[in-house]
Amino acid sequence: MSRCQQVGRPILRSLQQGVSSRPCSAALFSTTTSRKEDVVADTSASASEPPPPPPPSSKPIDEEWRQRRLDPNTTTLRWAEKKLIKAGTPPIGSRRRRVAIRTSADIPFEQLPYQAFQEARKILQDDRQEKLDKIVAATARLRFIEQTDPKTLQGGEAMKARRIDSARKYLDELKIQADINDPQVKRRFEDGLGDMSKPIYRHLADRRWREMERKIIVQRINQFFIVPDLLPKFEPTADVKLFFRGEKVAPGEIMDSRITEVPPSLRVQVFDKGERLLSVAVVDADVPNTENDSFDRRCHFLAANIPWDPTKSSLPLSRVAAAGGDVAVPWLPPFSQKGSPYHRLAIFVFEHKDRVDPEHLKKLYGARDGFAVQSFRNATHSSPVGFNMFRSVWDEGTAALMERHNIPGAEIEFKREKYESLKPHRKARGWEAKRQGPKYKFLEKYVKRLA
């Protein structure tokens, strides 16, 4: 413990005894924990217990020290971070934040000895209380509308439904407003500890996604003409991130065919509440067709009936069955023949309420060729919610890959079609052309032969 911390300890202790947090009447909509939970592992330093002996300056190798280094809240050591990531409990927040937590006496928010800060907190808590009261009123109103007889209303059943909808929307809005100014909520969200089953964290995540990532996806949809080519209209509402062999792929990146040989892993984040079923389709939009002198579409992967909710995010396409889904068309590695323009591999995530028959899908799309996203959408009564894409071109590994997977067509190369000039043929003119004949044989040495 540093010198200034030692000096400040008596003040802190008195503060801890003096200030007590305001009792919270209503249930929290966020998972903001009490401060006991928030206090990080190094509690021994801040509590009333006597401080432990300072660690010796030489690096201790005892187990206790190792354990302390393996705290996801405070560690900044590379090996510890790696170990934590492997264990499934990745380090929390930035390294700078972890250092700050480790080096400061970790005082809970309620006890920070700043008057202005505490006054501000009071204002926020008053505001929250106001919102909670409103929530109680709105809930009562919703219940009242639900119980009213539609005959007494002017618009009848439709009016009642509309009113219920509007009241629900207002209630959801209030739930978000109650927690949006909570510093603890903000902190938990930024640390990646937000519980996505709570409306506030979903709201914050949606806002963050819309700030940049969604814009990039929308730009890719437009600039790669996904919208008129594959779907007439599409507004993504779910975040889909793409990973190949554990590495994130920027939307639209040109990928090596050897890397894309294995199915990718998706991170699908939906922002609206409730259970639903997802379908994933990977479509090649640029399969060259020399017979019709045009482009075809091909299905590279199709899975349906994956149960999903906002708390889930990781969806490896190789383990769809384990996630509870049905694979209708297994992964076919993307390939593009030599000389053909780049292939756009579009990954669509659909949402649907009812289960679809995987056998029926197999029958419809098992042949892969001519897969139409629109037809799939109509057949399964689903709506597209998420999108991501990558591109593939011919590279050194493609020929071997096609051989490995028994894909014909590796021996073909595409060349640009040549067009005859529209101008009539003109005889060659000029000095050289004049001296091509036998008459100028004596000049043969000096005359270039024209073809």
Partner 1 sequence: MQLRTLRRPIQAAAVNSCRPQAAASPACSLSNRFALLRLDVGHSSTGISGRRWAAVKSQGAYKLKNKKTIPKKLGAKRTGDQYVIPGNILYKQRGTIWHAGENTILGRDHTIHAAVAGYVKYYRDPLRHPDRQYIGVVFSKVDKLPYPPNSPRVRRLGMVAVQRKTSEAAPAALSTSGIPLKVVRKAIQKETRVLHLQSDYSYREHNWEIGRLVGAAGQVQGAGKTRSRRSSLRVRRRKKQIVFGTRKSEARRRRERRMEIIQRAAEKKAKKTAEVERMAAKGKKGDKTPA
Site for partner 1, rule CB under 8 A: 225, 227-230, 232-233, 245, 247, 256, 258-259, 288-290, 293-295, 338-340, 397, 410-417, 419-422
Question: With respect to partner 1, which residue has the nearer C-beta, 17 or 292?
Answer: 292
What DSSP character marks residue 307? Answer: E
Nearest to 237 by CA among 209, 256, 277, 199: 209
Question: d(Cα 283, Cα 343) in Å, to the nearest integer?
Answer: 10
**63 Cβ neighbours under 8 A, 6+ residues apart:** none
CB of 362 to partner 1, least distance (A): 26
What DSSP character marks residue 288? Answer: E
Question: With respect to partner 1, which residue has the nearer C-beta, 230 or 306?
Answer: 230
Question: With respect to partner 1, which residue has the nearer C-beta, 35 or 258?
Answer: 258
Question: With respect to partner 1, which residue has the nearer C-beta, 55 or 339?
Answer: 339
For the packed helices 183-190 and 199-211, what is the interaxial angle rounded to 10 degrees? 60
Question: d(Cα 394, Cα 335) in Å, to the nearest integer?
Answer: 7
Instruction: Answer yes or no: are the C-beta atoms of 365 and 283 closer than 8 Å.
Output: no
Q: How many residues does the chain have?
A: 451
- Written as one letter, the residue type at 28 is L
Question: With respect to partner 1, which residue has the nearer C-beta, 32 or 392?
Answer: 392
Strand arrangement of the beta sheet that strand 294-308 belongs to: 254-255, 383-392, 343-352, 276-289, 294-308, 326-329
CB of 308 to partner 1, least distance (A): 29
CB of 335 to partner 1, least distance (A): 13
Instruction: Answer yes or no: are the C-beta atoms of 343 and 391 closer than 8 Å.
Output: yes
Question: With respect to partner 1, which residue has the nearer C-beta, 226 or 268?
Answer: 226
Instruction: Answer yes or no: are the C-beta atoms of 252 and 391 closer than 8 Å.
Output: yes
CB of 224 to partner 1, least distance (A): 11
Query: Alpha carbon of 334 to those of 138, 287, 368: distances in Å?
Result: 53, 11, 12
Tokens representing 319 are 């383990």
Question: With respect to partner 1, which residue has the nearer C-beta, 415 or 448?
Answer: 415
CB of 261 to partner 1, least distance (A): 8
CB of 283 to partner 1, least distance (A): 13
CB of 233 to partner 1, least distance (A): 6
Question: With respect to partner 1, which residue has the nearer C-beta, 330 or 397?
Answer: 397
CB of 324 to partner 1, least distance (A): 29
Angle at 380 between CA 379 and CA 385, to 5 degrees: 120
